[in-house]
């Protein structure tokens, strides 16, 4: 495989060995604090800086913006090594997986140079401002308005369910810049606008979570002045940019299969710790989860090949999202079943610690949290029902559902 900039590439296996060595040296020995707490988030941010300085923040992004200039197969190899090493979760998801690829597709050169290196080094944390209180699945009904005054937009409105909003520096938001066009067809007249959250008139209100974690927020805009130059893509054509963003969110996080494979290994650890390694039902479940994640892995390689050949994956991403969210849910639900009555207790419980090996107790420590996060994954980025609609209507071209 060759580097995109034409220079000779180390082959993927040599790169894999190099990554493995680097991770062995640099991955923090103990676990970091939870990224849902302000302190834990800062620790993760610091780790992202280490990754950036090591040249591993974004493997397949162009070198001029701080990436490594390799292809997607190197990205996948990196991710496989990353999860194998148990390295910390990445926390600038909005920037890394959504905004960065969008800037590369729709941004101006000035926008790329301004925002990409800072998001890679985690100097800027980005969040996504699409959903509004009455606009979730029906995103195009959004009402946040941006009225142009010279070289600026004046933004008023509210976003909600903003992941990382409590920790972020910037938000990329969908705003209505042409209400007239929107009255004809609601997908028109929307613009994708990047807003500095430190601007006067922005208020970020944390949303209390049932498990006490922080970071989720709602964002209010009152007469916020934003340079027109912060619009990504054509003004009024934000729907197209938004659909690409959701395509990236749903599908193309190349390498995340390695995370699920690691989770299946954790499930196997729980099976062993519960003394069920001869139990046909437990082994059947383990086999099913293993096959599910292997199918997903094969599909990730298939999609990488298509993407390297220039195929747009925005629609295929819906199949991917449906698949990975369901697989993830199956893994964590199976773990809860396996633990039986102990399943209601968290990893901190002394009863659980006594019943498991130390390694299995470490696995169980955040299983509940991950179970609930897997449930949420079936909602964020577009719910499973919406993915099924997209697959049936737009990929299979079956009859459309009735629309008002």
Closer CB to ligand FAD, 171 or 331, in the complex = 171
Which of 46, 64, 385, 393 forms a contact with ligand FAD (CB under 6 A)? 385
Size of the site for ligand FAD (CB under 6 A): 18
Active site residue 25: no
Quick check: 296 binds ligand FAD (CB under 6 A)?
A: no
167 binds ligand FAD (CB under 6 A): no
Question: Which member of 162, 191, 307, 318 binds ligand FAD (CB under 6 A)?
Answer: 162
Q: Which one of residues 61, 130, 167, 332 is an interface residue with ligand FAD (CB under 6 A)?
A: 130
* 163 makes contact with ligand FAD (CB under 6 A): yes
* Chain residue at closest Cβ approach to ligand FAD: 136
Q: According to CB under 6 A, which one of 131, 144, 245, 325 is a site residue for ligand FAD? A: 131
State which residue, 36 or 111, has the beta carbon closest to ligand FAD.
Answer: 36
Please answer whether residues 285 and 110 qualify as being in contact, where contact means their C-beta atoms are separated by less than 8 angstroms.
Answer: no
Pair of tokens at residue 340: 């039986």
Closest CA to 113 of 64, 180, 183: 64
Does residue 379 bind ligand FAD (CB under 6 A)? yes
295-299 long-range contacts, CB within 8 A, separation 24+: 295/323, 296/257, 296/260, 296/323, 296/324, 296/327, 297/257, 297/258, 297/261, 299/323
In 27-65, which residue ranges form alpha helices assigned H by DSSP? 38-53
CB 357 within 8 A of CB 273: yes
For residue 43, give both structure tokens. 């620790």
Smallest distance, ligand FAD to C-beta of residue 322, A = 12
| DSSP string of 160-223, one letter each residue | EEETTTTT-SEEEEEEES-HHHHHH-TTSSEEEEEEETTSTTEEEEEPPPTT-----EEEEEEE
| Closer residue to ligand FAD, CB minimum distance, 64 or 385 | 385
CB of 128 to ligand FAD, least distance (A): 4
Output the six-digit token pair for 163. 């992941």
Considering only the stretches 60-68, 76-84, 97-105, 128-136, report the one whose residues sit in contact with ligand FAD under the rule CB under 6 A: 128-136
Residue showing tokens 């900039």:
5
Say which of 80, 81, 132, 249 is annotated catalytic. Answer: 249
Name the residue with tokens 């090591």: 54
Q: Which stretch binds ligand FAD (CB under 6 A): 60-68, 285-293, 334-342, 383-391?
A: 383-391
Taking contact as CB under 6 A, which single stretch among the options 124-132, 190-198, 226-234, 341-349 is the one that binds ligand FAD?
124-132
CB of residue 151 to ligand FAD, shortest distance in Å? 27
Distance from C-alpha of 334 to C-alpha of 326, rounded to nearest angstrom: 12
Task: Decide if residue 260 touches ligand FAD (CB under 6 A).
Answer: no
CB atoms within 10 A of CB 66: 18
CB 116, CB 103: distance < 8 Å: yes
Residue 193: is it exposed, middle or buried by C-beta count within 10 angstroms (0-12/13-18/19+)? buried
Q: Which two tokens stand for residue 45?
A: 């941010």
Per rule CB under 6 A, is residue 383 in the interface with ligand FAD? Answer: yes
Q: Does 248 bind ligand FAD (CB under 6 A)?
A: no
Name which of 75 and 144 has its Cβ closer to ligand FAD: 144
Closer Cβ to ligand FAD, 69 or 101, answer by number: 101
Binding status of residue 386 toward ligand FAD by CB under 6 A: yes
Q: How far from each other are the two terminal CA atoms of the chain, in whole angstroms?
A: 49
The minimum distance between CB 374 and ligand FAD, in angstroms, equals 11
* 8 Å CB contact between 318 and 249: no
Considering only residues 295, 298, 376, 400, which one is a binding residue for ligand FAD as defined by CB under 6 A?
376
- The residues carrying an active-site annotation are 249
Q: Which residues bind ligand FAD (CB under 6 A)?
A: 127-131, 136-137, 161-163, 376, 379-380, 382-383, 385-386, 389
């Amino acid at each position: 495989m060759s580097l995109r900039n034409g220079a000779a590439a180390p082959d993927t296996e040599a790169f894999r060995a190099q990554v493995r060595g680097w991770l062995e040296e640099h991955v923090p020995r103990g676990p970091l604090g939870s990224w849902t707490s302000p302190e834990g988030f800062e620790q993760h941010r610091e780790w992202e800086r280490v990754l950036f300085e090591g040249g591993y923040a974004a493997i397949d992004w162009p070198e001029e913006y701080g990436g490594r200039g390799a292809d997607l197969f190197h990205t996948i190899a990196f991710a496989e090594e990353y999860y194998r090493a148990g390295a910390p979760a990445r926390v600038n998801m909005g920037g890394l997986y959504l905004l960065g690829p969008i800037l590369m597709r729709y941004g101006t050169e000035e926008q790329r140079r301004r925002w990409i290196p800072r998001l890679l080094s985690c100097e800027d944390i980005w969040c996504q401002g699409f959903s509004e209180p009455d606009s979730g699945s029906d995103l195009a009904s959004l009402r946040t308005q941006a009225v142009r005054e010279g070289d600026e937009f004046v933004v008023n409105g509210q976003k909600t369910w903003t992941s990382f909003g409590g920790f972020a520096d910037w938000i990329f938001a969908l705003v209505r810049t042409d209400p007239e066009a929107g009255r004809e067809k609601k997908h028109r007249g929307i613009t994708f606008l990047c807003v500095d959250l430190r601007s006067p008139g922005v208020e970020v209100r944390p949303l209390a979570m049932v498990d006490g974690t922080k970071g989720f927020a709602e964002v209010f805009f009152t007469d916020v002045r934003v340079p027109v130059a912060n619009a990504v893509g054509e003004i009024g054509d934000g729907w197209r940019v938004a659909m690409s963003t959701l395509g990236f969110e749903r599908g193309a996080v190349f390498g995340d299969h390695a995370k699920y494979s690691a989770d299946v290994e954790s499930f196997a650890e729980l099976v062993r710790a519960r003394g069920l390694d001869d139990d046909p039902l437990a082994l059947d479940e383990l086999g099913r989860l293993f096959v599910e994640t292997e199918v997903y892995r094969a599909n990730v390689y298939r999609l990488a090949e298509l993407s390297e050949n220039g195929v747009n994956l925005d629609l295929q991403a819906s199949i991917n999202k449906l698949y990975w969210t369901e697989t993830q849910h199956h893994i964590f639900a199976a773990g809860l079943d396996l633990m039986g009555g102990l399943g209601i207790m968290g990893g901190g419980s002394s009863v659980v610690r006594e019943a498991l090996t130390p390694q299995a107790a470490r696995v169980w420590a955040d299983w509940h949290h991950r179970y609930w996060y897997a449930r949420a994954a079936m909602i964020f980025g577009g719910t499973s029902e919406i993915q099924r609609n997209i697959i049936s209507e737009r990929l299979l071209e079956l009859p459309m559902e009735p629309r008002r």
